[in-house]
Structure 1
Amino acid sequence: MKINSLISSPSEWLHSGEGNNKIVVSSRVRIARNLNRFPFPGWARKNERIRILSITLPEVSSLGEMKPLAIVDSMDRFSPLEKQVLVEEHLISREHAAKNVGSGLAVNSSRSVSIMINEEDHLRIQTFKSGLQLKAAWKLAEKIDDELDEKLEFAFSTKLGYLTACPTNVGTGLRVSAMMHLPALVLSEQISQIVKAVNRIGLAVRGLFGEGTEALGNLFQISNQMTLGESEEEILERLHKVITQIIQHEENARQKLLQEKPKFILDQVSRAFGILQNSYIITSKETLNLLSVVRLGIDLGMFPENYRMIIDECLIKIQPAHLQMAYERKLSSEERDQLRADFLREKFKNFPSPDTRHLQFPYHH
């Protein structure tokens, strides 16, 4: 399997550069499509799912946007560990990881496109971009959708739009989301107000791995909930507006903390840095939360900007399946906690100490 070579380089959406990537880590677009005259995956018999896979996989693999292809295979060809790596990379859902014969996956080598076959719908087209680039992610997804539309006959109703397995996706079949890093809103205990406000206007706030997961590392996914009765442009526009407002709230919270509690921020960042640099046993949950605080330190100018890539790489590499893949064997959780600490000490050994000269301390001598 090509998963080792796939994860040896960082994925495109972690490359700093485009978009306001201090607060918005990445943008994702997902389109749900189904073939006409075939039952949805949940209702399809095994031989029908195999037939759907045999029709869609060659068409998906031949797309220009999928070149060069890194992965194209049936889900039963992946080991449980490889599936878990794909979940940690955000390339497949946890539901898709449970699939076997009759489900498939295609991923391009930059990991900007991942297409799940026979997850909840026949096709789940996912595109990823770094920072706040919702429109660019949508353009890429739309191009793939148009190309596939010419080759495959999609289930479509003139009254409702695209037909999907779950009623919330009917219409455009479009789910747009941004992964946001919101440590100051968490530290200043404003996050629950923001989440409530976002929920009230019909958007969803989820954790690091989507539905039903915790917001580890102060990372939150903000996405639209409904797809019926709104055009793709309206969905994108509305989400972009809300995300821009959340960025503003996070920036204000950072300024307020710096002005009112500079010692608190310095303490949080320095402790996090000290533990990452010196621990010998550490869990993935603790690591994600500490990395988040050091990333905030980079945003606030306490570390040089070029160290951001190390933090973003660590966010992925310290996760359980990635560690086991790196050491090429199954590890107990105790072994993982020790090897994770070894990995982090190595990564942080040349990290400079936090630079606090620009912070204003009222009683600092």
Structure 2
Amino acid sequence: MKSGAFERNTEWLRGDGDACDVVMSSRVRLARNLAGFPFTSQASEIDQHQVLEACKSRILSMPIEDESQVMWVDLHDSKRDDRLLLVERQLMSRQHAKGKRSDGSGGTDSPRGLAVLLPDERMSVMVNEEDHLRMQVVRSGFALESCLHEINTLDDAIEEGIDYAYDARFGYLTACPTNVGTGLRLSVMMHLPGLALSGELEKVRNAACDMGLAVRGFYGEGSESAGDFYQVSNQTTLGKSDEMLLREMETEIIPRVIGYERHARSKMLKEQDTVLRDRVHRAVGTLRHARLMKVDEAMELLSLARLGVLTGVVEGIDLGVIHTLMLQVQPAHLQKTLGLELTQQQRRSARAEIIRGRLGNG
């Protein structure tokens, strides 16, 4: 990977856009498969190579915007730390980095690739993940409609040179039955510290599940929450149009969760002001003075610092710095920043040093 690929903030951490106090980013994914080939888990290595080359050729031949460029990564030939860095930047799944699929098939040598639109990384396409193509568009803030528009444009451009697997009755055919139909997955990354601190988060998660939504951790399926950041997405697509899915998420479900979180923050400021200030200032103090820091602890403390900035509890900290640190403290980003193979203890020390350097002593 190019040396500068990890030094800038990615689109989803830009920290602006509608409802950006609660919604960090919006993402739309499409799952597609090539006609005439088995799904990735059932495909031979020869089939996988043919799918990879067909998709790579089509993607790299498409016209792109001025000043943009496509970075292509052959993941089966890439280094482990480079793959992990791409996961940390939320450009692909952990499963794709490992080459492992949900049924246990595959491995690190499985033919697979990733295309990323630079410089803002708002578009990426995984090739030979669970489906032959998994494309995504990400935008900062609450912006599902614009994401959907962009991904439909990308999808149409790819389809001009590739024949998709499609059934007149069921729609687009996908490896996972829950994606059959539109193949569309809408999701938002939400920062919900108010609900977490007030003990209301579990109720909201249960309500979301009752409405047919999946609530996942920071890195999506199979991951845990980090710093009270959650991905909320639709679970099924069969029988629903793109417009119906968008309307449910954009006008009904997500605005309701945004309202719950804002109410929880406001209530804490009114009724538990001292407790909130204590939690936030302890977090900021630890970030500014700790000498060793685990990544999970760093994310929890940065989450509280972000809450403090947004509620006016702390001043003098730039939200952009917090967002940048959320990437810089991740293991692969630490390795790339320092250019060294680090032991666990060295990573914890380096992580704390980087945080102190960015936040200062107040």
Confirm or deny a common fold (TM above 0.5): yes
Rounded Cα–Cα distance in structure 1 between residues aligned with 2:22 and 2:236? 25
Aligned runs of 1:4-43 on 2, under 5 Å? 4-43=3-42
Once the two structures are superposed, what CA deviation does each residue of 1:309-342 show, in whole Å capped at 9, x if it has no partner? 0001111110111101111122111111000000
Q: 2:259 aligns with which of 248, 256, 259?
A: 248
1:11 Cα deviation (Å)?
1.1
1:290 matched to 2:289: no
Q: Which amino acid aligns with 1:199?
A: C
Rounded Cα–Cα distance in structure 2 between residues aligned with 1:194 and 1:62? 45
Match of 1:328 in 2: 339
Q: Which amino acid aligns with 1:21?
A: C
1:106 matched to 2:115: yes
Structure 1 unaligned regions, length at least 5 = 353-365
What TM-score do you get using the length of structure 1 for normalisation? 0.93
**Do the aligned residues in 2 keep the contact of 1:65 with 1:144 (CA within 8 Å)?**
no
Bigger shift: residues 301-310 or 281-290:
301-310
Rounded Cα–Cα distance in structure 2 between residues aligned with 1:112 and 1:275? 33
Rounded Cα–Cα distance in structure 2 between residues aligned with 1:102 and 1:290? 39
1:89 Cα deviation (Å)?
0.6
Once the two structures are superposed, what CA deviation does each residue of 1:68-108 show, in whole Å capped at 9, x if it has no partner? 23521311221001111111110010110012342111001
Match of 2:90 in 1: 90
Aligned runs of 1:198-347 on 2, under 5 Å? 198-240=208-250, 241-304=252-315, 307-347=318-358
Q: Which amino acid aligns with 2:26?
A: S
Secondary structure of the 1:21 match is coil
**Do the aligned residues in 1 keep the contact of 2:281 with 2:314 (CA within 8 Å)?**
no
**Do the aligned residues in 2 keep the contact of 1:69 with 1:106 (CA within 8 Å)?**
no
Once the two structures are superposed, what CA deviation does each residue of 1:117-168 show, in whole Å capped at 9, x if it has no partner? 0001110011100000001111110000011111111000010000001111
Match of 1:81 in 2: 81
1:214 Cα deviation (Å)?
1.1
Match of 1:165 in 2: 175
Match of 1:361 in 2: none
**Identical positions, percent:** 37
Q: Which amino acid aligns with 1:23?
A: V
Secondary structure of the 1:179 match is strand
Structure 2 unaligned regions, length at least 5 = 100-108
What TM-score do you get using the length of structure 2 for normalisation? 0.94
Once the two structures are superposed, what CA deviation does each residue of 1:201-257 show, in whole Å capped at 9, x if it has no partner? 110000001112111110000000001000011111111221100010001101111
Rounded Cα–Cα distance in structure 2 between residues aligned with 1:63 and 1:341? 43
1:305 Cα deviation (Å)?
8.2
Once the two structures are superposed, what CA deviation does each residue of 1:248-295 show, in whole Å capped at 9, x if it has no partner? 000110111111110001001100000000000010000100000010
**Do the aligned residues in 1 keep the contact of 2:6 with 2:336 (CA within 8 Å)?**
no
Structure 1 runs (4+) deviating above 4 angstroms are none
